[in-house]
Chains A and B, each alone.
Chain A
Amino acid sequence: MRTPRILMCPPDFYGIEYEINPWMSRARGAAPDRARQQWRNLYDALVALGVQVELMTPRPGLPDLVFTANAGLIFGNRFFSSRFAHPERQRETPYFDEWFVGHGFSVEHLPEGVYFEGAGDALFCGPTLFAGYRIRSHAAGHLHLGNVLERMVLPMELVDERFYHLDTCFCPLAPGEAIYFPDAFDAYGRTVLQQHIPKLIPVVETEAERFACNAVVVGKTVIVNAGSDQLAEDLRRAGYACQFVELDEFIKAGGSAKCLTLRLDGEDAADWGDM
């Protein structure tokens, strides 16, 4: 059994400094100490599950660098660096790229003018890459990735601004198994998911709004923001243990457990086959 590796970035400079999604409000702001404690609890929970957590150096002026899931997409030792839609986040890219180059990944970029927000909008479930587009990433970018990766890439339109990244409304658990919030997709997207993932667990809206889908899966344990009782019960019945970590300080910025992590060795649900 391989040791799961996850990249995180401590929230030393985390805060609500701009508003680029419906969750963010500078007026409300984040409580730094509380945020630091919540992040630490997530870190500890992962380490306790046997995860090897790698840490990036936080940078002043880049509050969202904590959301490492958006750095890019990992496929083997290839790192497809994000092209962020918002200038506020584009500044993160050089630091992410630097880290990945320094850690033995080959860093690749998508064509100019194509937005792509990494594992935030592209998640493997089995051999297939499921991708979200319209709000942050371009469908064209995902289609381009399909050619480069030689894997099936299925772009699905995200239709609810609150669920602006795919990882806010969809989370693969294992090949052929995932949780999702159906109303974040249009009928085409729902059909694509239903046709390609035999076991889909829907999440209710009240829990989806608390980022229940933004979960970290390690083996049979699913770490989610506290309070998703319905999902916890559904997961238990599906053979998973649900572990709550209070992360509401990060939900203020539109992120939760998943957004704060980037799996470096491939998600448990991913089946890359022969590389």
Chain B
Amino acid sequence: MPKGKSFVEEIELQGHIIDSLLLPKVLDEILTRGGTYVIKDIKLGKRQVDPSYARIEVKADAQQQLDEILRAVHEHGAAPTAQKDCEYELADMEGAFPERFYSTTNYRTQVRLKHDWIDVDDQEMDCGIVLDLKNNSARCLAMVHVKKGDPIVVGHQGVRVMPAETTARQSLFEFMSSAVSSEKPKGVTVREIAATMKRAEAAGEKILAVLGPAVVHTGSVEHICALIQLGYLDVLFAGNALATHDIEQALFGTSLGVWLDRGLPAEEGHEHHLRAINTIRRLGGIQAAVDKGKLKSGIMFECIQHRIPFVLAGSIRDDGPLPEVITDTLAAQDVMREKIRGVGFCLMIATMLHSIAVGNLLPAAVKVACVDINPATVTKLADRGSHQTVGVVTDAEPFLRALVAELKA
């Protein structure tokens, strides 16, 4: 649930609202009573005698405050817009929405049900909205989970989307969203990311890390372990490769057969990752390997030691895979959906596949830092709708080293 202005009503004002100063007066009234506003639509009269029109979204921290604002602005001629409940149709088959289904964004969304605006739970882009008519609630639902008879929201009536707050753009995540460049000062960016992580931690929000195997190849395992030890990593999403190479390093000292301390290929090193997988499979899994004292270091070891939940989602080119890897992608999505609840910050490093997958699941209120040596990964994330992302184009290791130093500072 996003913090801050949560009670919303839409009002409209029509007439000579510019010359009479009624529009600025209404806006001032909203602000002086502690509310905020977004002008959703404004039409200015072309001649002086032509009336103007403004549709304004009013937000407040509490229902009572909102009611007071509405009462106050009503005096100045502003009235709530005529509103209707959302429309819905019962799903006529399993696993697919009715034709006119409302397709969700990752922004906080509300539907109007029985005259009340209610928040849509489990906000996620590219889903539909299923209603619970008994309990007057609504939530995002993936297409595959549609059951016959589910009341699914159709059309746009009675649905409203609240983009991220546009006021008080002071921190990096507000003004630099999706600004991706290899030519931005990294020090400032890293400092801001560290500060955001500290704020998330202090607010009791979870920090999610989505990691690709380059984290291991670049020698960053110790930094991730430090994040876990410092308490700045609460959930880990990755694939078979990250876990495999992390374990390979723990067992053999190499990643993809390259000695991490020397940077030289080991003899028969290309077999190491497969042997690592095989060892873990023989032991019955990562958890079992730690329990039996066979896996004694690395990211996966620290996760198990610190009871950090992780989701390893499989893909088609995986070797093995490790027993904990979920190979059914739909099942993996569902586990990831469950684990992202309560996440307030997400760090994505060196993985296009998992970054985009997680980006699709996260509500827009969750801030994301995407670190990749390839600018395309970050732009792709933003282009697919994850606008809350700050991109950092850099190698994983120097970034993580600097981040850990900032978090320790």
Distance between Cα atoms of A148 and B131 in the complex (Å): 43
Could you say which residues of chain B place their CB within 8 Å of the CB of A142? 15, 77
Q: Are B49 and A152 in contact (CB under 8 A)?
A: yes
Interface centre among B20, B25, B51 (most CB of A within 10 A): B20
Of A98-106, A133-141, A175-183, which binds chain B?
A133-141
- The distance from the CB of A147 to the nearest CB of chain B, in whole angstroms, is 6
Interface centre among B17, B74, B76 (most CB of A within 10 A): B76
Q: Are A157 and B16 in contact (CB under 8 A)?
A: no
Q: Are B22 and A155 in contact (CB under 8 A)?
A: yes
Q: Are A188 and B15 in contact (CB under 8 A)?
A: no
- The distance from the CB of B82 to the nearest CB of chain A, in whole angstroms, is 14
Could you say which residues of chain B place their CB within 8 Å of the CB of A188? 21-22, 24-25
Interface centre among B13, B16, B22, B79 (most CB of A within 10 A): B16
User: Does A89 sit at the interface, judged by CB under 8 A?
Assistant: no
Q: Are A146 and B21 in contact (CB under 8 A)?
A: no
Could you say which residues of chain A place their CB within 8 Å of the CB of B16? 143, 146, 152-154
Could you say which residues of chain A place their CB within 8 Å of the CB of B24? 188
Distance between Cα atoms of A41 and B77 in the complex (Å): 40
Q: Are B20 and A147 in contact (CB under 8 A)?
A: no
User: Does A109 sit at the interface, judged by CB under 8 A?
Assistant: no
Could you say which residues of chain B place their CB within 8 Å of the CB of A134? 75
- The distance from the CB of B38 to the nearest CB of chain A, in whole angstroms, is 22
Interface residues of A in 164-218 (CB under 8 A from B): 188, 191-192, 195-196
Partner of A196 from the list B17, B19, B22, B76 (CB cut-off 8 Å) is B19
User: Does A151 sit at the interface, judged by CB under 8 A?
Assistant: yes
Binary interface encoding of chain B residues 18-62 relative to chain A, with 1 for a CB under 8 A from any of its CBs, else 0: 011110110000000000000000000000110100000000000
User: Does B157 sit at the interface, judged by CB under 8 A?
Assistant: no
User: Does A112 sit at the interface, judged by CB under 8 A?
Assistant: no
- The distance from the CB of B33 to the nearest CB of chain A, in whole angstroms, is 16
User: Does B14 sit at the interface, judged by CB under 8 A?
Assistant: yes
Interface centre among B21, B75, B79 (most CB of A within 10 A): B21
- The distance from the CB of A224 to the nearest CB of chain B, in whole angstroms, is 27
Look across to chain A and name the residue whose beta carbon is closest to the beta carbon of B15: A143
- The distance from the CB of A260 to the nearest CB of chain B, in whole angstroms, is 29
Q: Are A192 and B15 in contact (CB under 8 A)?
A: no
Could you say which residues of chain B place their CB within 8 Å of the CB of A270? none
Could you say which residues of chain B place their CB within 8 Å of the CB of A196? 19
Q: Are A143 and B17 in contact (CB under 8 A)?
A: yes
Distance between Cα atoms of A55 and B292 in the complex (Å): 108
Partner of A153 from the list B15, B21, B76 (CB cut-off 8 Å) is B15
Could you say which residues of chain A place their CB within 8 Å of the CB of B51? 143, 146-147
User: Does A156 sit at the interface, judged by CB under 8 A?
Assistant: yes
Look across to chain A and name the residue whose beta carbon is closest to the beta carbon of B79: A140
Interface residues of A in 203-251 (CB under 8 A from B): none
Q: Given that A143-B15, A153-B15 are known contacts, is A192 also in contact with B77, CB under 8 Å in the complex?
A: no
- The distance from the CB of B81 to the nearest CB of chain A, in whole angstroms, is 14
Extra 9 A-B pairs, beta carbons < 8 Å, given A138-B75, A139-B77, A147-B51: A140-B77, A143-B15, A143-B22, A152-B19, A154-B16, A155-B77, A157-B75, A192-B20, A192-B21
- Interface positions of B (Cβ within 8 A of A): 13-17, 19-22, 24-25, 48-49, 51, 74-77, 79
Q: Which 8 A-B pairs have CB atoms at the shortest separation, nearest pair first?
A: A143-B15, A139-B77, A154-B20, A188-B21, A140-B77, A146-B15, A143-B77, A152-B16
- Interface positions of A (Cβ within 8 A of B): 127, 133-134, 138-140, 142-144, 146-147, 150-157, 188, 191-192, 195-196
Q: List 12 A-B contacts (CB under 8 A).
A: A133-B77, A138-B77, A140-B74, A140-B79, A143-B15, A143-B77, A146-B51, A153-B16, A188-B22, A188-B24, A191-B21, A196-B19
